[in-house]
Structure 1
Amino acid sequence: MKVVIIGGGIGGLTLANYLHNNNVEVVVNERAVGSKGGGHAFLMHTDGLAILRELIAATETKLPGKGVDKFSLKRPDGDEVQCVQLDNWRCIKRTDLTRFLYDFLPAGQVKDNREFSHFIREEGKVVAAAFLNGDVEYGDIFVGADGGFSKVRQAIFGPVEFQPGRVKEIVGIAYNAELAQSNIGVFNKFQRNTSGLAFGMIPTSEQELVWFMQYDPAISDVEDGDSGKLQVFCNTLLQSFPAEVHQVLNSNDFSTSYIWNTRDFDVLPAFSDDNVVLIGDAAHLALPFTSAGTTNAMVDAKVLATKLLATNSYAEAFSEYYNLRSAEVVEHLHLGRGLRDLFLDPLGHDDEEFPIPLIDDKVRKVNPQLKKPVEIVYFTDPICSTCWIIQPLIRKLKLEYGAYINLRYVMGGLLPSWEAYTKGKIQKPSDAAEHWEEAGAQHEMPMDGDVWLEDPLSSSYPPSIAFKAAQLQDPDKAVSFLRRIQEMVFLEKKNIIKWEFLKQAAFDNGLDSARLYRDYEGKAVELFKEDLELVKQRGVVSFPTLFFSDGVSEPVMVKGVQPYEVLERLILDIVPDAQKLQIDTDARSLFTHFPTMTDKEFVTLSNLSREEAADMLNSLHGEGSIEKYASKNGMIWISKFDCLNCI
């Protein structure tokens, strides 16, 4: 089998690498002369990076580009409306990635100065591709990877009807070491909330930044081709934007910048015709708001190569390739159009409605919570020591009976203030310090009571309100947020009333800290009051308190630390035939679910003795699979495994 690829861009080169690595004869035909790819830069996420890592697995080659771990959306006046930690994103210059892929192929496998002209057919079947320079390349399968204006697509399907994107984008690369170094790892975007105008910038190295300006040409426009007019146009349109925006523009060579007239077309009914198949923008062109074009081309290449190698015929491979890719492409297409409409008409939309312009966040499905037979209402508090002590049991319950339970977290308001606290023997911070030390030792869960002596909390209300704010964004991430602030206060002696720690916990768990602060000051306060009212209605006087219910009968109340068998029995009383899931006790599996664990938690979930668990954890630490944080009274172990299903 010989595969002829028409187009030496990233999609075509990725496919060529996969096929070459599997001993398939392949020739890449690139229209440019001596070119290693045009364009400026783009963002790439997990799917694309995984493909690159797979291609270089047996080498010591480093990935091109710079990691991007933070997205910040601001208004032109500098007001930050979103601040979110990003996971596994990278900004890569197109020329760097093209060269990177090109260098893995044998010399002569990419032939340049070959602009596609037409196909040569014998008995109706394509047998060769002819190029404008007179060259002809024979083969068995032909792949159109020649971009959005694909001549290969036109040759097999005729012209497509392009839909105007109604948004233009000017892109460039600026050289400004001071700005690049101060913004390493940050995707900054400034966007109006009154009309369609935005400016974004991302460092690609310690000296340069890629930037873009998206604008509605109905506001104002400029002809392409005159660098002086282009510079004046950008500075004028962005006149009210912050100083760093103009620093970028003043550091830019506008002779290398250009205007991109965005457009797309409806998804094709097929990506192939007989032995000719399309990948990347040739197959499906979407608007740039999804930041997915390059990654989609690479995923196309991998899927197509995999199917060609695994199926009995190219017809079967092409059919399976289309079935796998077309549904996701349709989502991206409609998503891009929706984001465009929001960009052009932002009035009347809250700040929370402006999505992060990165595809994995926007296409993530938020499935409605399934109705499960057991409802557990969990009254807790971020600084409740007993709520910390029962963490191993709560985690085990989630793993073994998660298919049957909905666990609802309610903030109980343990400490309104020291003046208003009248429960038990604890009357002042030093009493809490002593209690934590004793309770931690008794239940083998590390707690450092010195926080109450060194930087005592005056109330548990602020972190409780912050949890309610986190729930407004993402209920699952809110639980991770709660766990993180518990670790901060119980192990790291951090006063989690302070916004700096709440902000960091939000950022660590993928929450938008700017939105969290707005909700913390607003909507979350009322939600916390509703929780306090529920505490009164249920007669809850201590924490933790759990109510088990089938939604019909009177709930059963459980207080404090109980043996695991008691909690298990309550579930089986409601669902007698409930099947306990057998936990995969392999350390990698456990750390995939729970990225941090104390010794007690690992013992509880792994079913190892304390001695066996200690040996296992120390061994994992020694090989670099986990890290540890040593508090005064014990360890917490931090996973370095990939966290795929963290709960």
Structure 2
Amino acid sequence: MKKIAVVGAGISGLTMANYLEKYKIDYHIYERRKKKDLAGHGFLIPKEGMDYLYQIIDSDLLLKHGNFLKKYTQYSHIGKILAEKELDNVFAISRHSLVDLLAQNISPEKITYEETIISDDQQKGKLKLSDGSYIDAEIAVISDGSRSRIRKSLFKDETMRVVQESEVVNIIQNKEIADSIENDFMKFHHEEGGLTFGILKLSDDTILWYSQFDNQRYMINECSAENLRKYMLEVFENWHPLVPEIIQKSDYKNVHLWCVYELEKLNPFYKENIVFVGDAAHPLIPFTSQGVTSALKDSFSLTEYLVEYNDLQEAFSKYEAERKPEIEVHIKNGRILLNQFLLPLNQQTENIIPISYK
């Protein structure tokens, strides 16, 4: 097997590296950020994603760092129960915990941090380091996120648009609050739509919370941590007491304001010897809760085809043919969930779960 360069050491890049490790395929990861990026956000992983994750991370170890959610409960903003539904092995875990677990199987010598990779318009399929030298690899797996620089350089006519939803995401460590919450997924909704507050219990003392905003109705003009805290307290002042309590007692040093983008139309998943996985191939609206699962399935499928087929273009073609139809289903579902979010509660579909299933 030829040497592979993996661009991006996030979830999809580290997942790809883990599958390459299983087959003892030579690779190196290049990441433009520093090693520790602890922005406070996390993931919901449905059962299907967990089945793939178990192939590369021990199940007992996973359970020490996250939590299976038993039930989804939808509330009005003042705490009236609107709907309840049992969840089938949906796992909640913080981003930094999952990154650390995925990185444990990767030798430090195989990851270079603070290195920005660019594509060479003059040399098709070639990637360059910041010093201008070319990367020594026959295959490049690109996992540099939803706003991938390399994807944009290869598909110059692509159109990315801002989604009418932004998220503020944070993690709070507070055992007293955590003890008051069951192992559930709680989500509070404003009656007029376009504003929610979600709570996921990660462990006996840690909670992930996030707020979704219709960014045309709720504009955050200044994004400092203190401003976000002040803004959140103002917006959620009259909600169920649990919501402002969590906002008030949170530490905002790693709070994350997420502006969401999507591709107007999916690009091909590969070009020449360059292939895309995860958000770099197909940005998904966060309502789908399928980002990690899709990254896991992309990496598994691509590795299997690279092992099975000697012809690189055939392997890439098989990978795209398998993965693209499912991704298009999640994109469609994500837009449906977004449209529901923007509507007043009395116009929304009942019992809708913020997870896309194919």
SS of the residue 1:49 aligns to: helix
Task: Report deviation, 1:39.
Answer: 4.8
Partner residue in 2 for 1:356: 353
Task: Report deviation, 1:60.
Answer: 7.0
Task: Report deviation, 1:37.
Answer: 6.1
Q: Is the 8 A contact 1:190 1:199 kept in 2?
A: yes
SS of the residue 1:234 aligns to: helix
Residue 10 of structure 2 aligns with an amino acid whose one-letter code is: G
Q: Is the 8 A contact 1:267 1:330 kept in 2?
A: no
Q: Deviations over 1:373-416 (max 9, x none)?
A: xxxxxxxxxxxxxxxxxxxxxxxxxxxxxxxxxxxxxxxxxxxx
Which one of 191, 194, 202 corresponds to residue 193 of structure 1? 191
- Provide the rounded CA distance (Å) in 1 between the counterparts of 2:257 and 2:298: 27
Give the aligned CA root-mean-square deviation in angstroms: 2.1
Task: Report deviation, 1:19.
Answer: 1.1
Residue 154 of structure 1 aligns with an amino acid whose one-letter code is: K
Task: Report deviation, 1:311.
Answer: 1.7
Higher relative contact order (CA 8 A, sep 6+): 2
- Provide the rounded CA distance (Å) in 2 between the counterparts of 1:167 and 1:36: 24
Q: Deviations over 1:322-374 (max 9, x none)?
A: 1111111111112111111111123552561x5111223xx4xxxxxxxxxxx
Partner residue in 2 for 1:18: 19
Task: Report deviation, 1:134.
Answer: 5.2
Q: Deviations over 1:427-457 (max 9, x none)?
A: xxxxxxxxxxxxxxxxxxxxxxxxxxxxxxx
Q: Is the 8 A contact 1:125 1:274 kept in 2?
A: yes
Q: Deviations over 1:539-581 (max 9, x none)?
A: xxxxxxxxxxxxxxxxxxxxxxxxxxxxxxxxxxxxxxxxxxx
Structure 2 runs not aligned, ≥5 long: none
Partner residue in 1 for 2:171: 173
Partner residue in 2 for 1:295: 293
The total of aligned residue pairs comes to 356
Q: Deviations over 1:230-262 (max 9, x none)?
A: 222111211221000011101112232132112
1:408-427 equivalences under 5 Å are none
- Provide the rounded CA distance (Å) in 1 between the counterparts of 2:277 and 2:74: 33
Q: Is the 8 A contact 2:77 2:191 kept in 1?
A: no
CA gap of 1:344–1:25, structure 2 versus 1, over 3 A, is same
Q: Deviations over 1:492-547 (max 9, x none)?
A: xxxxxxxxxxxxxxxxxxxxxxxxxxxxxxxxxxxxxxxxxxxxxxxxxxxxxxxx
- Provide the rounded CA distance (Å) in 1 between the counterparts of 2:161 and 2:206: 34
Partner residue in 2 for 1:341: 339
Partner residue in 2 for 1:67: 68
Which one of 319, 329, 332 corresponds to residue 331 of structure 1? 329
Task: Report deviation, 1:312.
Answer: 2.7
- Provide the rounded CA distance (Å) in 2 between the counterparts of 1:37 and 1:307: 33
- Provide the rounded CA distance (Å) in 1 between the counterparts of 2:83 and 2:317: 42
1:204-603 equivalences under 5 Å are 204-346=202-344, 348-349=346-347, 352=350, 354-360=351-357, 363=358
CA gap of 1:198–1:313, structure 2 versus 1, over 3 A, is same
- Provide the rounded CA distance (Å) in 1 between the counterparts of 2:310 and 2:28: 22
SS of the residue 1:138 aligns to: coil
In terms of fraction of residues, the more helix-rich structure is: 1
CA gap of 1:206–1:142, structure 2 versus 1, over 3 A, is same
CA gap of 1:60–1:69, structure 2 versus 1, over 3 A, is closer
1:95-114 equivalences under 5 Å are 95-114=96-115
Q: Is the 8 A contact 1:267 1:284 kept in 2?
A: no
Q: Is the 8 A contact 1:45 1:89 kept in 2?
A: yes
CA gap of 1:347–1:18, structure 2 versus 1, over 3 A, is closer
Residue 170 of structure 1 aligns with an amino acid whose one-letter code is: V
CA gap of 1:133–1:253, structure 2 versus 1, over 3 A, is farther
Q: Is the 8 A contact 2:267 2:281 kept in 1?
A: no
Task: Report deviation, 1:218.
Answer: 3.0
Residue 23 of structure 1 aligns with an amino acid whose one-letter code is: K
Task: Report deviation, 1:267.
Answer: 3.9
Task: Report deviation, 1:125.
Answer: 4.3
Q: Is the 8 A contact 1:37 1:99 kept in 2?
A: no
SS of the residue 2:87 aligns to: strand
Task: Report deviation, 1:78.
Answer: 1.3
Q: Is the 8 A contact 2:67 2:202 kept in 1?
A: yes
Q: Is the 8 A contact 1:113 1:133 kept in 2?
A: no
CA gap of 1:56–1:238, structure 2 versus 1, over 3 A, is closer
- Provide the rounded CA distance (Å) in 1 between the counterparts of 2:131 and 2:144: 17
Task: Report deviation, 1:112.
Answer: 1.2
Residue 206 of structure 1 aligns with an amino acid whose one-letter code is: D
- Provide the rounded CA distance (Å) in 2 between the counterparts of 1:117 and 1:37: 25
SS of the residue 1:239 aligns to: coil
TM-score normalized by structure 1? 0.53
CA gap of 1:163–1:279, structure 2 versus 1, over 3 A, is same
TM-score normalized by structure 2? 0.93
In terms of fraction of residues, the more strand-rich structure is: 2
Residue 305 of structure 2 aligns with an amino acid whose one-letter code is: K
Residue 42 of structure 1 aligns with an amino acid whose one-letter code is: F
Residue 86 of structure 1 aligns with an amino acid whose one-letter code is: L
- Provide the rounded CA distance (Å) in 2 between the counterparts of 1:44 and 1:152: 27
Partner residue in 2 for 1:518: none
CA gap of 1:164–1:107, structure 2 versus 1, over 3 A, is closer
Moved more, 129-138 or 86-95: 129-138
Residue 338 of structure 1 aligns with an amino acid whose one-letter code is: I
Partner residue in 2 for 1:138: 136
Instruction: From the CA coordinates, give the structure whose radius of gyration is larger.
Output: 1
